[in-house]
Amino acid sequence: MKVLVAVKRVIDYNVNVRVKADGSGVETSNVKMAMNPFDEIAVEEAVRLKEAGVADEVVAVTVGSAASQETLRTALAMGADRGIHVVSDEELQPLAVAKVLKSICLEEMPDLVIVGKQAIDDDSNQTGQMLAAMMKWPQGTFASKVELNDSKAVVIREVDGGLETVGLSMPCVVTTDLRLNEPRYASLPNIMKAKKKPIEEKQASALGVDIAPRLTVVSVSEPPKREAGIVVEDVSQLVDKLKNVAKVI
């Protein structure tokens, strides 16, 4: 069984994101970057499937600039067997990434594709669903538990009302939620081993897919600063403020 897992390079979640002076986006120059946290969970789940003897090979794929190879090496250090780097200097939107992943899936023919449910930079939560639709594969989104048996995946997914269990015929697409697992730290020996693992480079322009953006960012701005609160003397004054100032009641 082959598992394909997609990873994305994003601003580290510990970094305080700053908006560019011209309002065209967020500042990424000289900013610490890391693997998207939900993708770390996806890699961890794929590696655990291999360690359990369920999967035979874990292939990590990323789409992005040359700097994205660092993220791919992190996935290899966590336990992926090989990597595929689709090189593109453009900022790709979810639809474009899904098209690229479809092209990779048609070539690699994985039994299972695991992706993070969303990236923390755009919070789109679209790529996994779009890929499943394009491949006409079943999907299990927001997975908090995944079990594979007899060419079938049983996914427990988190929904608004609690938990839902779905059975998926393979090949299929699974998107990971926070409670699926806790990603491991890549040890120094594994980081050194990852440098010798193969990474295949492909040019996005050579895949024959339309990756032109469908959305245009008009402007990016920081949220308004929160005003200081006030202390009220009694309940009646509180109700008056809520009714006549805040206008929430």
**The tokens 């008056």 sit on which residue?**
240
Residues counted in the chain: 249
Domain 2-219 CATH (choose: 3.30.1330.40, 3.30.1370.100, 3.30.365.10, 3.40.50.620): 3.40.50.620
Q: How far apart are CA 175 and CA 155, in angstroms?
A: 10
Tens of pLDDT along the chain (249 residues) come to: 999 999 999 999 999 999 998 988 889 888 999 999 999 999 999 999 999 999 999 999 999 999 999 999 999 999 999 999 999 988 899 999 999 999 999 999 999 999 999 999 999 999 999 999 999 999 999 999 999 987 899 999 999 989 999 999 999 999 999 999 999 998 999 999 999 999 999 999 899 999 999 888 899 998 888 888 889 899 999 999 999 988 888
Name the token pair of 52.
Answer: 């359990």
Which phi and psi angles does 165 have, rounded to 5°? -105, 125
How many other β-carbons are positioned within 10 Å of the β-carbon of residue 216?
A: 5
Domain segments of the chain as ranges:
2-219
Contacts of 240 (CB under 8 A, 6+ apart): none
Q: What amino acid occupies position 16?
A: N
Q: Which residue has the tokens 């779905």?
A: 166
Residue type, 37: P
Strands (E), the chain: 2-7, 9-11, 33-35, 57-64, 82-87, 112-116, 139-149, 152-159, 162-169, 172-176, 199-203
Neighbour tally for 84: CB within 10 Å: 20
